[in-house]
Structure 1
Amino acid sequence: MKKIHFNDIRIRNKLLLIYMFSVFLPIILTNVIFYNVTSENVRTQKIHDNELALRQVATNFKQGVEDAVGIASVLYADAFVNKLLDTSYDSPVDFILAYNNNFRDINKYTPVYSSIRSIHLYTDNPTVITAGGIFSIDQQQQSSHWYQSTSEFRSKYPVVTRKLANDGELDQFVVVRALDATGRSNNEKIVMINLNERFIEQLFATETFEGKIYLVNEENNIEYSTDDSMLWRSSYAAYDAVDLPKDAILFEEEYDVQYMSNWKMVGVIPEKNLLAEVRNSIPSILYLALWNFVIPTLFIIYIAGNIHFRLNTIVRKMRKVKDQQFELIPGKTFNDEIGVLTREYNRMTKKIKDLINDVYIVRIQKKDLELQKKETQLKALQSQINPHFLFNVLETIRMRSLLKHEKETATIIHNMAQLLRNSITWDRDFVTVREELQLIHAFLEIQKYRFGDKMQYDIHFDDAIEHVLIPNMSIIPFVENASIHGIEPLKAGGIINIVVEQAIDHIIVEIRDNGLGIPKDKYQTIIQSLHEEEIAGERIGISNVFQRLKMYYQEGFDVQIKTRKDHGTTIILKIPMKADDVAY
């Protein structure tokens, strides 16, 4: 591999390299380092702040539960409450008197603690009236979620759980404890402390924690969450089923109290949230970096542009020298190195221009010879078509005369005369569409005279393009091939359809026959011959027409040949139509 030397680099690129390594890269590296350091510091601080925020939520929730646990413990040891629920009453009046004397006092806890909504007592004592905060432990209660989930441990210590609403959704948090301090009660007694829903919602709705919060119980189910995308309210959802972001940062606060053993508060924050503020400052960093780029960039661009323009002017003039265009560099010449180079170039160019003046004249003459050669080639292509075409016409008349032994030649001679007149007018490179179609009509009449009812033809053209000029005899060779090679082998029923229409800025010519079609190998040979730049040879039909059209229109024309065995051949010729190609 060739090594690139520093001196091989253009001056403009050298200046750009100086700018890149002296200005651009130092500024970029400085800003990247500053951004990374700032991002890491902000990230660390955000993590610390969110840890404190989650810890505060966990502590407040624990405090609310402990308030309920404390009340449950007080009622657990309250002899009056136990007596109220254990006594067998002779009449409802006796229970009401006992209720007014004992139970009303426990309602004093509700206004004191904002986390407590209400206190309910449950008993299976049949003489107790279930009203005013006292409920019967019937079969419905025994099958409820709160009763079943606390049955194992509520006699030992308070248990935190959730109630279920009538529709099966998770309801408020409750603290449940069995009331049997003496252990001698014949009745089952349970106290339920209902936590305030508003207290829970306000507790979890803290704005200081920037992610989602999940309260997970000992069975790894979600008791409460700020993630509204999950249906955790309708039923218990497993925390493992949460679709956490790949870059999520987890915060956990575990509870070590007996009544919430193995419970934990989990906070989830996507990494992007921690750096949101830093990323919001990116525009300011970019504006600052852009300002540092503007002044040196404009200066470098001006200097590099000035040098590049002056050197490029000299290079462009020197490249024209190889095409024998000896142009002087105009304008004032300066005293720097580029100015000296400009003066020396002008002096050299003027001297060379004087020395090769004679050679330049000879070159012009050579160009004229080349143009004459092109014209000769065009005439040669045209002359190849006429003999081939006239031969076929004369052979047709001769064979018809020999076979019929009659002189029905008036019409055919008229058509032949028209063909001969056109054949000797090669000084006209272009004819109108109508003239070309008249020639085709004469040819097909001759063919019809030859084949009789074996061949029919139909010519349709748009009257709007009848005066448009097209290359002389550019369509008839395709019609000739359709007649000779397509229809002649048929025994009967030969049809040739010719349609000439205008399509925007082109003339579309479609020549369709129902003959035998072109064999595959011959078709490939024809297609290949269209791209061979030969002037003479055996293929003097459509290939020569193709070459003529290419000389006239370059790549602006198109010839398509579609054929199918025993189904005929279709030629589609696309000829450009210019505004000045109209004869009146």
Structure 2
Amino acid sequence: MKKIHFNDIRIRNKLLLIYMFSVFLPIILTNVIFYNVTSENVRTQKIHDNELALRQVATSFKQGVEDAVGIASVLYADAVVNKLLDTNYDSPVDFILAYNNNFRDINKYTPVYSSIRSIHLYTDNPTVITAGGIFPIDQKQTSSHWYQTTKNIRSKYPVVTRDIANDGELDQFVVVRALDATGRSNNEKIVMINLNERFIEQLFANETFEGKIYLVNEDNNIEYSTDDSVQWRSSYASYDAVDHPKDAILFEEDYDAQYMSDWKVIGVIPEKNLLAEVRNSIPSILLLALWNFVIPTLFIIYIAGNIHFRLNTIVRKMRKVKDQQFELIPGKNYNDEIGVLTREYNRMTKKIKDLINDVYIVRIQKKDLELQKKETQLKALQSQINPHFLFNVLETIRMRSLLKQEQETATIIHNMAQLLRNSITWDRDFVTVREEVHLIHAFLEVQKYRFGDKMQYNIKLDDSIENVLIPNMSIIPFVENASIHGIEPLKGGGQINIVIEKAFDYIIFEIRDNGVGIPADKYHHIMQLLEEDEITGERIGISNVFQRLKMYYLEGVEVEIKTGRNEGTFILLKIPMKTDVAH
């Protein structure tokens, strides 16, 4: 039998042997040890954390009870309270006066403590009016659960118990104490402090404790529990009857206070809950182990075929170069010999491709750009011919009207030409207030020519702001709306008043008409458009003018529109009087 030497083994098998003894077996052993150690550490830490969580629940409940006991002790020694309940009053009025002068509100302590819901005083004094937190000790109370269970000890110290509702279910926790500090009272007096149910629920709903919590009294009955499977609310249930899992871990916190003697808080956590996180991590551990096993194996196979693949890629790309397909080899630039060869190939291919583009493609693109430029100039020239033609025609008509002494027609044609020229040729973004008013005057004169005596207007301009610059065509759209939509529907008597004045560092434009007003739906639509942040549509409406002003003055522009059916429309436009607007 021929002896097999290590050097006779193929390189692929050598790599697999190295992987088996250097990676596979060490990983298996390490994962097993790691899982066992981690499980024990997590279990120990979980037990400690849950002990702290249960202790916090027990301490918080005791603190809430102690708050109630403290209030009961204060009322026990309060001479005013005892006198109020012991005095025999000749009439209800006397009691009311004593109540208002010395007592007022028994629940004045409740806002101080979140654990206290309310405070009740009970007395068998027949001359005391039972209202405002004071209740009678009648047959119903003497037969109640809280009264009977605290009968023998409430005179010595406060007692914690549960009230029972009318339907027989356990009600809220209460602290009960008899009020007879002197021992000479002929009347029975009791203070009952009701603990806040929400405080109790939030207290025991401690998410950091991972099991069930039971509050057990001295008779081993459940006073409160987070275990919904136990019917403890309908009546007292014995804790001994609760069925716990066999592997459950129990935690106990005992109370040594006199008013909660032999009470305790018990926490129960199944063993599986303590290790749930570790067991949930088993798929991750297996996935990690699989990663450690599979990836090295695949990597060894990859190393063997990587050199052939990369060299073959370079050969295939070089064969395409002869067909003028200058494709680069994608991927990261590596630093080994094949990586250097790849970079040099990409550099050579890119250089050849750039030279071809410089010689042929760039020239073609340059010709295209020149043609586009010529076409643009031609269109720009065409766009100027038509407006100039219209202006020349209007000027010819105006001159003929002057020769025929038709002064009114000539004036209207002059105004129309001015409006047309200003709306088509936007050679300036800003004009003076005087120029804008002159344009408004021309527009209103044209409208007045159309409507005759149906419309009158008045323009009042502050002389001090005539030369202030404002955006071109920024006021006339408001005037146009007042004329066309406000005055035109009227049968007669239309009036437009325009006031332009200075207020501190602002220019105020007031446009008022006595027209038909803006319909409600259209008014709401306009106000909605004013809140948008961009110019929409093709028409130069109020909203677009407002948005254009906002682009120039940012947030310094204000507009206010008031209207009513058949009451006209009032527009107030306020823009800053600045010289540094955004041109």
Q: TM-score range by the shorter chain?
A: 0.3 to 0.5
Which of the pair has more CA radius of gyration? 1
